[in-house]
Amino acid sequence: MSEERGRLAAYWERQLERLDEIERKRALRLPTWRTRKRRRTLSVLVLTGNLILIIGAATFRSQPSTLFVVCWFGGCVVAGGSHYLLRILTGKMSGGFSLRLDEREREWRHRVTFVSYQILVVLMLIAVFYSLIIADTEDGGVRGAMMACALLVTGTTLSGVILGWTLPDDDPEDFDEGVAPA
């Protein structure tokens, strides 16, 4: 039993080291974008992409129309690409383990996670009510599932959006000393 535990602990340490290495590489990307203005722009783009996804889900029918396809894939590209860049700019706070964060970062992350969880719950309630309203229409189940999917994607991107909107600018001294920002 202890040998198995030792292997699991060693595996866990290797995973943490791998994630730290990825974070060190990611922290060096886009150094000129690490401003509040850029993060806020990306936050707005993520929300815009999510809104496009929701519009696509609302227009879904049994035979997908051109509007649905454009909205669904366009929203995925806009929201997905912006969210990826936003995660790079918010650093380990948006994707790292809580143990690896300092107290300030942990406090930001917990606050943002709680707020985004509450909003996600409200979005899922909206999806339930939407599904109930359209239940008697043609393909109501599939349309409700598409809306739930769009709202779930929106809810899962909210923590990064809130972090991107609220984080202050990085300290310029971090760049002068050669230390990568978090």
Residues 73-85: pLDDT tens digits?
999 999 999 999 9
Query: Does any domain span residue 179?
Result: no
Output the DSSP codes for 34-99. Answer: -SHHHHHHHHHHHHHHHHHHHHHHHT--SS--HHHHHHHHHHHHHHHHHHHHHHHHHTHHHHS-GG
Q: What is the pLDDT of residue 170?
A: 66
Query: Does any domain span residue 157?
Result: yes
pLDDT tens string 11-68: 888 888 888 788 778 777 888 888 889 999 999 999 999 999 999 999 888 677 888 8
Q: Which residue has the higher pLDDT, 182 or 49?
A: 49
Rounded Cα–Cα distance for residues 182 and 164 (Å): 13
Query: Does any domain span residue 176?
Result: no
Supply 111's token pair.
């606050």
Range of the domain at 108: 2-169
171: left (phi over 0), alpha (psi -120 to 50) or beta: beta
Query: Does any domain span residue 181?
Result: no
Total domains, the chain = 1
pLDDT band with cut points at 50, 70 and 90 for residue 171: low
pLDDT tens string 114-166: 999 999 999 999 999 999 999 998 888 889 999 999 999 999 999 999 999 98
Q: What is the pLDDT of residue 52?
A: 96
Q: What is the pLDDT of residue 144?
A: 93
Query: Does any domain span residue 162?
Result: yes
